[in-house]
Each structure stands twice: as structure tokens, then as C-alpha cells.
Amino acid sequence: MTESGQQAEKSKRLPRAVREKQILDAAVTVFARHGYHPASMDEVSEVAGVSKPMIYSYLGSKEDLFLHCIRREANRLIDAVQTGIDADVAADMQLWTGLRAFYGFVAEHRASWTVLHQQALAVGGKFASEITALRSHAIEMVTKLVVSEGSRKGLGEQAEFSGEGMAAALVGAAEALADWWLDHPDLSPGVLASWLMNLTWLGFNDLVEGQVWRPS
Amino acid sequence: MTESGQQAEKSKRLPRAVREKQILDAAVTVFARHGYHPASMDEVSEVAGVSKPMIYSYLGSKEDLFLHCIRREANRLIDAVQTGIDADVAADMQLWTGLRAFYGFVAEHRASWTVLHQQALAVGGKFASEITALRSHAIEMVTKLVVSEGSRKGLGEQAEFSGEGMAAALVGAAEALADWWLDHPDLSPGVLASWLMNLTWLGFNDLVEGQVWRPS
């Protein structure tokens, strides 16, 4: 038996869930590297060490596979942020822990972020809709935080009026900073999160007045 | 002579610059309505009242036409913002006037914004590169403002370190809020600009502490 034959034999014994994970891991890497259209199923098969017919049988066409990738990475991102948020602390600290978890995820899973934020939007259609849904989810989380904190301080009406728009702006800022980060990879997730806290929680005051937000 | 023949005759007498403007205005409308791929040159021709051969002769292929649209709208947006900024006032007021001009442009030229921010990015390639360049230009403007104001206050080092990243975040926030606005069109450009000022210049303090930034 040839080496690749042995390899195929060995991989046949793996449970389906393990094989699917191998395929998805490989697909995220390949899609992030080339983009959706230029990416080839041959390369996914090679990187995963799983035959093409088996990929089609387990996860469907290239289109299906891309959608599986986007959904899995979106869920991982949501899980990472939700796990990272400490819900028992003050509102600024909740935002801080959420942002740190977000940048921590991007730092560890750069290919996931590239697929989610660049490839999926570039391909458009139902793929972009998944990202719009992910973004709406993030906006909703931030809106809830701001409205609940505003209400607690007797500013509920104002928070209800402008909270969602400001949350949308904050989420856009967080995404834009993550993209900027791809070209400035030396900074830590904590630095990025603290910049965003300073920008949104204290405003530019930290730069122009020397006032700085710090985790309490 | 038929009515359309008379129309063609009449339009032949127009100077080239006027005809090109008609074509570009129509193309922006049609691309914003359908997106790049589904948009047809037949519809551009119909909306512009200019024959297809003349469009090809003046502005080239559909691809060339789309690129012309993106460049014209990007330049109009930059002009509108630069004209709107009052360079002789305090840094916060400069940002405020710039943001108000930006949202004023989006309000008046919704189709331009759709082509620039949604269609061009969705098609990708050289079209998306134009938008990346436009975004870099905006980031550069905000960075200069923040670094110059930070330096004036003796915080130059910190402003140099984090200014560009925070400017990238601010520009992302401004874009995200403009997109959110498409679904909430009742708000005025001034309201949007003031939300962003409150988010970035004062931070969420306005919502959680009742502190509000107002133009001086």
C-alpha cells in the first residue's frame, strides 16, 4: 500500500465529527489565504488530508463548505466574547472584558477573522447576510449594556433614543480597528481594547486632556 | 424623424462634459439600485438618455464606467468634507464640522454612498482598492487632527502611538453609523454627527453620566 493509501486508510477510521473539524479547519485556512473564488477544493483536500469525494459527502459543495466555515467561525467568535464578558461588574468593565475577548479571538484566529470580515462580505449574498446577522447580534449586546446602564443612571430615555446608533458605531469602530491591526500585528489584544475604551468611554479626552480610562 | 431620433439629435449637440455627467449620474443611480453585476448598460443608457455606443465611446466598458463612478463620488465626498471642515476652530469643532459635512453628503447623495460603501466593496478587486484608499485618506485626516491637538497639549508621544489606530476606529464608526442610518433615515445629519462626537469625544459618559458634548 502506498503512503497516501495508508494515510487514506488511517483517516477512514476517524469519527465523522473529527473529520468534519479537519475539513473545516483546512477550509478556513485556504479561504483566508486566497479568498472564496480562487480557493480550490483540491487545496482544501490536500491541507485537510481528506479526499475530495469525502468532503463533498460530509459538507457539500464549495458554497456549502464556505457557509459552514462562516457559521462555525461566527459561533466561535460569539462564544469567545460571551465567555469573556464578566456580567457581574460595572458597565465599562463589561465592555472592556468583551472587547478584550474579541481582540483575543482575532489574535488567535486570524484566518477566522479574515474569512468572516473580508471574504464573506466580499462574496456577498447569503454569505454577507451571515455577517450582517453577526454584526446585529453584537450591536444588540452593546445596546443592551448601554441602555441598562443609562437607565440605572436615570438617563433611560436618551439611552433608548441614541443607544442603538452609538452601539452600531462602536461595533464598526471595533471591526475597523481589528482590520487596522492586521497591518500592525505587534500590538496586544489588551492595547487594542484599551484604545477602544478610551475612544468610546472617555472619548478623545485621553489624547487631548491626558485623561485615561483604566480597568478598575 | 422619430421622437427618439430627435432626442438623439438633440443630445448630440451637448458638450462632452455635460453628456459624461448625465451618464455618470445615471450610472450611480443604476449601480446603487441593483449592484454592479445585475446592473445593465441598457438601463444606464435609458436613465441617462444617451445611447449605449456613446456611453462606450465616452466612458468605456461597464467596468470602466463603474470605476469612473467610484472615483467621481469619492472625490465629491472628499471635497464635501474638506469644504465643511473649519480649520480655524478647536480640534473638537473641526471634527464636528467634518462629521456633519460627511453625514450631510450621505443624506444628499444616498446613491453615491451605496455605490462607494456597499457596491464597490462587494465587487472587490480594484474597486475595493479605491475605497481602501478613500478610507486611508480619511484616517490620515483624523490622525493629523488628533496628533496635532495631542502635541499642543503636551501628549504628542501618546498621540503618535495610538492616534492612527484610534483614527481608524473613528472612521470605522462613522461608516458603520452611516450604514445604520440607511435603516433609520428620519434622523438629521447633525444628530448623527453629534452622536459620534459624544461617543468619541466624550465617550459613553453622555449616556451613563449625563455629560453631553455640544458645539461651542
Per-residue model confidence as pLDDT tens digits over B85-133:
988 888 888 888 999 999 999 999 999 999 998 888 888 788 988 999 9
Question: For B120-174, how does the pLDDT look when each residue is reduced to its tens digit (9 = 90+)?
Answer: 888 878 898 899 999 999 999 999 988 888 788 777 787 888 889 989 999 999 9
Q: Determine the pLDDT at residue A206.
A: 45
Which whole number is the average pLDDT over A18-30?
A: 97
Q: Do the chains contact at B180 and A165, CB–CB below 8 Å?
A: yes
pLDDT for A31-46, tens place per residue?
999 999 999 999 999 9
Tally the residues of chain B.
Answer: 216
**DSSP string over A167-184:** HHHHHHHHHHHHHHHHT-
Amino acid at B38: P
pLDDT of residue B63: 96
Q: Nearest CB to B199: which of A158, A170, A181? A: A170
Q: What CATH class does B1-60 carry?
A: mainly alpha
pLDDT score of A47: 97
- The answer to whether B109 and B182 have CB atoms below 8 angstroms apart is no
pLDDT at B44 > cutoff 90: yes
Residue B121 and residue A121 in contact, taking contact as beta carbons nearer than 8 Å: yes
Cβ proximity of B212 and B199 under 8 Å: no
Give the residue with greater pLDDT, A10 vs B53.
B53
- A146 contact residues in B (CB cutoff 8 A): 204, 207-208
B204 touching A (Cβ < 8 Å): yes
List CB contacts of B118: < 8 A, sequence separation 6 or more: B179
**Maximum separation of any 2 CA atoms in chain B, in Å:** 75
In chain B, which residue's Cα lies nearest the Cα of A201? B203
The domain limits of chain B are 1-60, 70-216
Q: What is the mean pLDDT of chain B?
A: 86
Once rounded to an integer, what is the mean pLDDT over residues B9-26?
84
Q: Do B166 and A91 touch (CB under 8 A)?
A: no
- Cα B208 to Cα B4: distance, rounded to the nearest angstrom: 63
Q: Do domains B1-60 and B70-216 have the same CATH topology?
A: no
Percent residues over pLDDT 70 in chain A? 88
Lowest mean pLDDT, pick from A93-102, A203-212, B33-42, B93-102 = A203-212
- Helix residue spans in chain B (DSSP H): 3-12, 16-34, 41-48, 52-59, 62-84, 91-108, 110-113, 120-123, 125-152, 156-182, 189-197, 205-208
| Residue B206 confidence class, pLDDT cut points 50, 70, 90 | very low
DSSP chain A: --HHHHHHHHHHTS-HHHHHHHHHHHHHHHHHHH-TTT--HHHHHHHHT--HHHHHHHH-SHHHHHHHHHHHHHHHHHHHHHHH--TTS-HHHHHHHHHHHHHHHHHH-HHHHIIIIIIHHHH-HHHHHHHHHHHHHHHHHHHHHHHHHHHHTT-HHHHHHHHHHHHHHHHHHHHHHHHHHHT-TTS-HHHHHHHHHIIIIITTHHHHT-------
Q: Which of B121, B166, B175 sits opposite A195 (nearest CB)?
A: B166
Query: Do A131 and A116 meet the contact criterion of CB atoms below 8 Å apart?
Result: yes
C-alpha cell at A122: 466580499
Q: How does the average pLDDT of chain A come out, rounded?
A: 86
Residue A145 banded pLDDT, cuts 50, 70, 90: confident
CB contact under 8 A, B176 and A192: no
Of B121, B146, B196, the CB nearest to A207: B146
Enumerate residues 31 to 60 of chain A having a beta carbon within 8 A of any beta carbon in chain B.
Answer: 35
| Amino acid B121: pLDDT | 83
At residue A203, does pLDDT exceed 50? yes
Judged by a CB distance cut-off of 8 A, whether residue A170 touches chain B is: yes
Give the model's pLDDT for residue A174.
96
Which CATH number, 1.10.357.10, 1.10.275.10, 3.10.310.30, 1.20.1050.10, labels domain A74-216? 1.10.357.10
Amino acid at B116: L
Superfamily of structural domain B70-216: Tetracycline Repressor, domain 2 (1.10.357.10)
A171 in reach of chain B (CB within 8 A): yes
Residue A183 has pLDDT above 60, yes or no: yes
DSSP secondary structure letter of residue B62: H
How high is the pLDDT of residue A95?
87
Instruction: Give CA separation, B177 vs A13, A212, B181, in Å.
Output: 51, 25, 6
Beta-carbon contacts of residue B24 (< 8 Å; ≥ 6 apart): B59, B65, B68, B69, B72
A112/A133 Cα distance (integer angstroms)? 16
Locate A107 and state its grid cell: 489574535
What's the gap in Å between the CA of B156 and the closest CA on chain A? 8
Instruction: Please answer yes or no on whether B170 and A173 come within 8 Å at the CB atom.
Output: yes
pLDDT value at B1 more than 70: no
Interface ipTM above 0.85: no
Give yes or no for B121 touching A (CB within 8 A).
yes
Mind listing the pLDDT tens digit for each residue in A83-128?
999 888 888 888 889 999 999 999 999 999 999 988 888 887 889 8
Tell me, what's the pLDDT at B26?
98
pLDDT at B214 over 70: no
